[in-house]
Amino acid sequence: SIEAQAPILNAFLQQVVKASSDGVASAVDDSFSCCFESQPYEPWNWNFYLFPLWCVGFVVRYVFLFPVRLVSLILGMLLCLILWSIADVVITNNTKRKEVESRLLVCMCNVFVWSWTGVVQFHGPQPSRGAKVFVANHTSMIDFMILESKFPFAVIAQKYNRGWEGWLQSRVLDAVGCIKFDRNDSSDRAAVAKRIQDHVHEHGSNPLLIFPEGTCVNNEHCVMFKRSAFDLDVPVCPIAIKYNKTFVDAFWNSKRESFTMHLYKLMTSWAVVADVWFLEPMEKLPGESSIDFAARVQKVIAERASLRVVPWDGMYKYIAPKPETRERRRRAFAELMKSSLKKKK
């Protein structure tokens, strides 16, 4: 009878509802994916009364400002590269040549920042050389340009083999101590760690800048810091970067747009507004692990830049679930349903 089968049917439906609710909950409360998506922002001038003014602004930005910025960027980069080539040939002293090239790189980055009308307010003590490492939250590749426009850093960066980004990396950044890594090559980690250790303790080298999140995050969240920057037994100098989204969102979603298109978005905005805080150096406490030290530095940066700390590893962004994993979950659910149906019979 229906009354006799009711408990079995109820148990079956509970299993179905539980599986469905788990999926819905994962979709609604996805605290991982939201770290790598631009947060919705209501434009301040997008209404009926200001629409004519917005149209005028559109024409000014795309017809007048963008061409001027683009021409200035090209001319500025050409001038810096010509001077770079001359210095590479004329200056035979390796130390002096590196010093000149470091200053030229600072000029290049200032040209880039000017091309977006970067309005950047720096706070805190001026960075300096020495056995230390600088770490910062990461929103876009322009983070490096903004920081480099203030002081010549050597940077740890993802290796680019194609495009103008790869050419600049191999021709310019390598000359000032850039350490490249391939996130898809796990065997590269030990060699990179050794190069980092050697660079930090090399006398006269440019201070090392590391983005320990390992990927670009939307400047609303702060994902887990990798421990490699905190295993060096040197002071760690935190840098907090916060962008104002009034005119443009500076977050670079590398999975959806190229860096060229990202620059185009910045160069067609009114301005890129940001605050940068150089915070006091921090050292590992007695008995403190590198993981705990990284979390402590992350908390300081997140509080200063008003970011929400989340426990996720940013590298999961590049890892898709294996088909075997999905199939295993499907089979487990199918077996659960089959056992419930057998009990019903």
Task: Give the model's confidence band at 27: pLDDT under 50 very low, under 70 low, under 90 confident, else very high.
Answer: very low
What pLDDT does residue 238 have?
A: 96
- pLDDT tens track for 289-320: 999 999 999 999 999 999 999 988 877 776 76
- In the numeric block, the tokens 């209501």 are attached to 42
What pLDDT does residue 78 have?
A: 94
What pLDDT does residue 26 have?
A: 46
SS (H, E, C) 288-325: CCHHHHHHHHHHHHHHHHCCEECCCCHHHHHCCCCHHH
Average pLDDT, the chain: 83
pLDDT of 3 strictly over 60:
no
Quick check: 132 and 234 in contact, CB under 8 A? yes
Tokens coding 157: 């960066």
Average pLDDT over residues 31-50: 75
HSE at residue 85, side-chain half, CA atoms within 13 A, is: 5
What pLDDT does residue 318 have?
A: 67
Task: Give the model's confidence band at 28: pLDDT under 50 very low, under 70 low, under 90 confident, else very high.
Answer: very low
Tokens coding 274: 């940001």
- In the numeric block, the tokens 């609710």 are attached to 21
pTM: 0.81
Task: Give the model's confidence band at 219: pLDDT under 50 very low, under 70 low, under 90 confident, else very high.
Answer: very high
Tell me 219's DSSP state: S
pLDDT of 90 strictly over 60:
yes
Which of 25-29, 36-40, 102-106, 227-231 is predicted least confidently? 25-29
Tell me 173's DSSP state: G
Helices 259-267 and 163-171: angle between axes, nearest 10 degrees: 90
**Which of 217, 222, 221 lies closest to 255, judged by CA?**
217
pLDDT of 122 strictly over 90:
yes
Any idea where the domains of the chain sit in the sequence?
Answer: 33-318
> Which is higher by pLDDT, 226 or 303?
303
